[in-house]
A and B are shown apart, each in its own frame.
Chain A
Amino acid sequence: METGSSQSKGTSRAASAANISAEAFASSRPGEELSLEDMEQMARKLRRHIVTMTAKAGSGHPGGSLSAVEVVTALYFGLMRHDPANPNWPDRDRFVLSKGHAAPLLYAALAECGYFPVEELSTLRQIDSRLQGHTDRTTTPGVEMSAGALGQGLSFGIGIALAGRLDFQPYRVHVLLGDGECDEGQVWEAVMAAAHFKTDNLVAIVDHNKQQLDGWTRDIMNLEPLAPKWRSFDWHVIEIDGHDLPQVIAALETAKQVKGQPTVIIAHTTKGKGVSFMENNPEFHGRAATAEELEKALAELA
């Protein structure tokens, strides 16, 4: 059940000062919309968090976290109305991370927003940490869905979208899917259902980094032609460069205008983006950087 107060309005400036790390930028107060330039800096900062926390944990999924950084930055520091001081605010825009292994990315964004202290990122994957290896709705403030077994997030998003419609709530629902995740049959059950129910308050974003654990998606299980597949299911399809923040923002804005059908943003991305030796290297789907690699990665992301 929702427990949040309905009195909150828009983005919040209310997160307690204690939640803001000394490391945080002065311009990145919780829940507040950033300028494009600050967003670019925030994206870089999220990347640093991702490689650092996974390296510290000694495991995790940096590759698929790095590929979706701009999408998540645009949502949490730009488009979404949310309140880090009140994670259960019923009016909030939702972000559902269906590719639950990209938890480090979501944790980094939530921490920078002020849902929990940035210092807590260093507890990733440790016993008793609120930051589990894959997302857990019951432990982490701001996490909407327990995920990690792939293919379930879009269905969950449809449920939230239908509830919003029943309650005349204006919130919007964003679901981030992996491209490899689209191998799962349930994704396509949901694709069909969302169009059938005309959930135009729902946006799916496919992090199309062209790789999955065992290699290139074209070799493991070919997804192409991907855009025509979604179009034939009666979705509004937008294809973008998923690392170009203005394109990400423009696509999300366009999606708001689309009526009578859901929108999918196919974000063409690079797995491991931002760290030269992780880019397009499937090894870093599920492996963290060594101490030496981390140093090199942070130098590149400085």
Chain B
Amino acid sequence: MPVEMSAREAYGRTLVELGRENRDIVVLDADLSRSTMTSLFAREFPDRFFNCGIAEQNMMGIAAGLAASGKTVFASTFAVFATSRCFDQLRMSIAQPQLNVKIVACHGGITVGEDSFSHHSIEDLALTTSLPGLTVIVPADAIETAQAVKAAAATSGPCYIRLGRPKTPLVYAEDYRFTPGQAVTMRPGSDATIIAIGIMVALALEAAESLASQGIDCRVLNMPTLKPIDRDAIVQAASETGAIVTAEEHLEHGGLGSRVSQIVSRYRPVPMSFVAVKDTYAQSGKPHELLKRYGLAAEDIERAVQSVIPRKLSDQAHR
């Protein structure tokens, strides 16, 4: 296993494995099969692959009809097209009727890079988590992606899985097993907790490492299932560490930060800080340049933790 791998490559390979095991797996794409890597499935199972052309709304409807007829359907395109373009189709044709469609979207976030704002997806988690009955998963690396895709195939019902574009570091070993709905403690710690999703998990670990050298003992939680979210792990982190920073490659509102803060404010109020794209659209650039420009680099997470700990201490002093 290489040290870096793209999630979409893991997705394509996993689809082929699933296709061999289950003849009811059907895959749809919207003219991006070589980017989403569904082309691997298409090559092996041409009769169970339907390229719907550049018509994502129609693709979602076809996926729903196939699922209503007993198929386990994977529908793939870029995250921005799968969600903002198809929101009504996700809502009407897939989520409300609880059909067995897995929307696996790659090119989530701003690390899409040079293609600029039209192709960046920074609203998809707000949109998808707003739909009752839709499971939302954001794997942290290629290994978790393969696991999540298999778990989704094994569970009936609609699911949105968001993947990134670039090759990213593996944060898991080969023997990792993903459990839907459960957070994973990536690193223990007691001074503060970083809750991260997707590619931000690797950056959170980097930040925690750096903070450790400054004597700050930071817990890192990966929250691969954004919905339904692991409430207990969040409440526990709030109780035990007293401060929380969320990190996501998404707008600050409507994603991980919003969902975590809702739980924290209700069950165990503690100071929080949010590493996310502020209320803006991102521009073209190299992925690492964009992460830095829009405040999503490891140093930004580090600063967020440094800023939240004094608030925690001040709160404690006032008690």
State the A residues within 8 Å of B (CB).
1-2, 90, 136-138, 144-149, 151-164, 166-167, 185-186, 189-190, 192-193, 196-197
CB distance from B25 to the nearest CB of A (A): 11
Which residues in B have some Cβ–Cβ distance to A below 8 Å? Answer: 26, 47-48, 50, 52-53, 55, 57-71, 73, 88-89, 91-93, 96-98, 100, 156
* A2 close to B92 (CB less than 8 A): no
Contact present for B92 and A163 (CB under 8 Å)? no
Tell me how many residue pairs across A and B have CB atoms closer than 8 Å.
Answer: 113
CB nearest to B56 among chain A residues: A189
Report B-chain residues with C-beta under 8 Å of the C-beta of A162: 26, 50, 62, 65-66
Q: Is the CB of A158 within 8 A of B55?
A: no
Chain A residue at minimum C-beta to C-beta distance from B61:
A155
Provide the residues of chain A in CB contact with B92, threshold 8 Å. Answer: 146-149, 152
Tell me whether A193 and B52 are in contact (CB under 8 A).
yes
Of B48, B67, B98, the residue contacting A159 (CB under 8 A) is B67
Known A156-B62, A157-B65; further 11 A-B contacts with Cβ < 8 A: A1-B156, A90-B70, A138-B96, A146-B93, A152-B93, A154-B61, A155-B58, A159-B64, A159-B73, A160-B66, A196-B53
- Please judge, given known A-B contacts A163-B70, A163-B71, A166-B26, whether A189 and B88 are in contact too, CB under 8 Å: no
CB neighbours of A152 from chain B (8 A): 57, 61, 88-89, 92-93
Chain A residues lying within 8 Å of B71, measured Cβ to Cβ, are: 163, 166
Please determine whether B58 and A138 come into contact, CB atoms closer than 8 angstroms. Answer: no
Known: A146-B96, A166-B26, A166-B47. Is A158-B61 also a contact (CB below 8 A)?
Answer: yes
Considering the chains assembled together, what is the distance between the CA atoms of A148 and B67 in angstroms? 19
The 25 sampled A-B contact pairs (Cβ below 8 Å) are A1-B100, A1-B156, A90-B69, A138-B98, A145-B68, A145-B97, A148-B92, A152-B93, A155-B57, A155-B61, A155-B89, A156-B65, A158-B61, A159-B62, A159-B68, A159-B73, A160-B65, A162-B50, A163-B70, A163-B71, A186-B58, A189-B55, A190-B61, A192-B55, A197-B50
Whole-angstrom CA separation of A278 from B307 in the bound complex: 68
Please indicate the chain B residues that have their CB under 8 angstroms from the CB of A196 in the complex. 53
CB of B69 within 8 A of CB of A186, answer: no
Interface of A: prevailing SS:
helix
Which 5 A-B pairs rank lowest in CB-CB distance, beginning with the nearest?
Answer: A159-B65, A155-B61, A163-B69, A189-B58, A189-B55
Shortest Cβ gap from B29 to chain A (Å):
13
Q: Which residues of B contact A185 (CB under 8 A)?
A: 57
Query: How many whole Å from B56's CB to the nearest CB in chain A?
Result: 9
Q: Is the CB of B57 within 8 A of A164?
A: no
Residue numbers in B under 8 Å from A193 (CB-CB): 52-53, 55, 58, 62
Q: Which of A137, A148, A156 has the most CB of B within 10 A?
A: A156
A156 and B61 in contact, given A90-B70, A166-B48 (Cβ under 8 angstroms): yes
A156 close to B64 (CB less than 8 A): yes
Bound-complex Cα distance A136 to B91 (A): 12
A155 touches B47 (CB 8 A): no
A145 to B60, CA, bound (A): 14
Take A166-B47, A166-B48, A193-B58 as given contacts and tell me if A159 and B97 are in contact as well, using a CB distance cutoff of 8 Å: no
Residues of A within 8 A of B88 (CB): 149, 152
Contacts of B47 in A (CB 8 A): 166
Shortest distance between the CB of A136 and any CB in chain B (Å): 8
In the bound complex, how far is the Cα of B88 from the Cα of A154, in angstroms? 15
Are B69's CB and A164's CB within 8 A?
A: yes
Question: Beyond A156-B65, A156-B93, A160-B65, is A2–B58 a contact (Cβ under 8 Å)?
Answer: no
